[in-house]
Structure 1
Amino acid sequence: MTKITVLGATGFAGSSIAKEAASRGHEVTVVSRSAADLAGTRAVQGSVLDSAVLADALDGAEVVVGSLSPRGDMAGQVRGAYAKVAEQLAGADARLIIVGGFGSMLAEDGSRIADGPGFPDAFKAEAQELFSVLEALRAGEGVRWTYVSPAADFGSYIPDQTRRGEYRKGGDVPFFDADGKSAISGADFAIGVVDEIEAAAHVGEHISFAY
């Protein structure tokens, strides 16, 4: 059993990861501004920008999963929030797993997907903020981190949320299925993340999950 804290636990990715981790018998603490009601977890209500809330949430954690979304009043705040988390974890055995975005990944020519002509303008600021988190992790020292990107089609807006119990794991260049699609359900992405929590196979790496 691992003591896991999930930041942003009422979001699409965060709630899926918390549920998967709890179902495997891990001790899960969920943190959100609204009262999270996830079976088998301990809830900490409040903002991760509040130092007291963050200290309570991280107390005793062996793995911290960051699933914060840089939208609404968290726009422009996510990198700073993760910097505070990293500061508390620096030099410790605890690991930090960040749920990033598809835009942080690289095209075949090495350019960042979010900088490509086909990337939606509406999501560029969000993608840049999540990428800045990855840059900060790479530049920092003393934190055992893993940065995880989902497929292009990922989120509550995707109709097919079937739990297949399978996924493919890649690096920072995306792969596609036989139909040319990059997709994964919340449940199967969560399986991949919790598998990484348990295996610690990619510390200091940017990885991705898709079908």
Structure 2
Amino acid sequence: MARIVVLGGTGYAGRHIVSEAVSRGHEVVSVSRSAPSNPVEGAQNVQGSVLDLASLGDVFDGADAVVSALSPRGDMENSVLDALGGLVEKLSGTETRVGVVGGAGGSLIAPGGPRLFDQGFPEEYKHEAQVGIDSLALLEQTDDSLDWFFIHPAEVFGPWAEGERTGHYRDGGDVIVRDADGKSFISGGDFAVAVIDEIEQGNHHRERFTVGY
């Protein structure tokens, strides 16, 4: 059993990650700015700001993994990188793994590039995609003492396309995963399966990977 802390645990990706981790018997702490309206049974809920990690007390003590599922929306629109920078500073040199949920935009469309972001990416999603790209760059610049992984969901991923948990997914390395029809999709449940599998199995150390069907 691992102790897993999920930042943004009440958001779309975060809640799925919390639920999957609890279902596997892990000790799970969900951190969010507001109290969850529909908390995941079996998870501990901590209310506080990720921009003030000291205010969260001992929530990170003994954590095997901390997953950032923060979205650059609302009052966090321009603050996700600050939060991630603070987290990296706090956990560098510890044995705690850092996992970061990114977006599809930074995925490569073929081995060696280019990125999906550079191929006529929708304007309304560019800010969020850029935050993901910058988050990966921040992790890549960290000292080797920090063990991190960065996970790109498929192109279609979100509450508007929930899908079902099947327990299956494909790992595309740094290339976006598409099915035989060219569709790139992952359900919230199976994205969470990939995240918890990575925490349990440790297949990616200081590197990113993509998931999809």
TM-score class, shorter? over 0.9
How many percent identity over aligned positions? 48
Letter in 1 for 2:13: A
**8 Å CA contact 1:17, 1:194 repeated in 2:** yes
> Residue 48 of structure 2 corresponds to which residue in structure 1?
46
Q: 1:148 aligns with which of 145, 151, 155?
A: 151
Please, which of 178, 183, 186 is the counterpart of residue 185 of structure 2? 183
Shift of 1:55: 4.2
1:132 match: 134
For structure 1, list consecutive stretches of 5 or more residues without a partner in the other structure.
none
TM-score normalised by the chain length of structure 1: 0.95
What is the root-mean-square deviation of aligned Cα atoms in Å? 1.2
Q: In structure 2, what is the Cα distance between the partners aligned to 1:48 and 1:110?
A: 33
1:173 maps to: 175
Q: Which moved more, 1:6-15 or 1:108-117?
A: 108-117
How far is 1:147 from its partner?
Answer: 0.2
Q: Deviations over 1:35-84 (max 9, x none)?
A: 13111011100211123334433222110010000111111111110111
172-181 or 130-139: bigger deviation: 172-181
Given candidates 50, 62, 65, the residue that maps to 1:63 is: 65
Look up the SS of the partner of 1:58 in the other structure. Answer: coil
Runs of 4+ in 1 over 4 A off after TM superposition: none
**1:182-201 correspondence runs (5 A):** 182-201=184-203
1:33 aligns with 2:36: no
1:19 equivalenced with 2:19 (yes/no): yes
Q: In the alignment, which residue of structure 2 is the partner of 1:4?
A: 4
Q: Give CA-to-partner distance per residue, 1:130-189, whole Å, 9 cap, x none.
A: 11010010011121000000000100011x521112111111111211121000100011
- What is the TM-score when the length of structure 2 is the normalising length? 0.94
Count of equivalent residues: 209
Greater shift, 182-191 or 168-177, is seen at 168-177
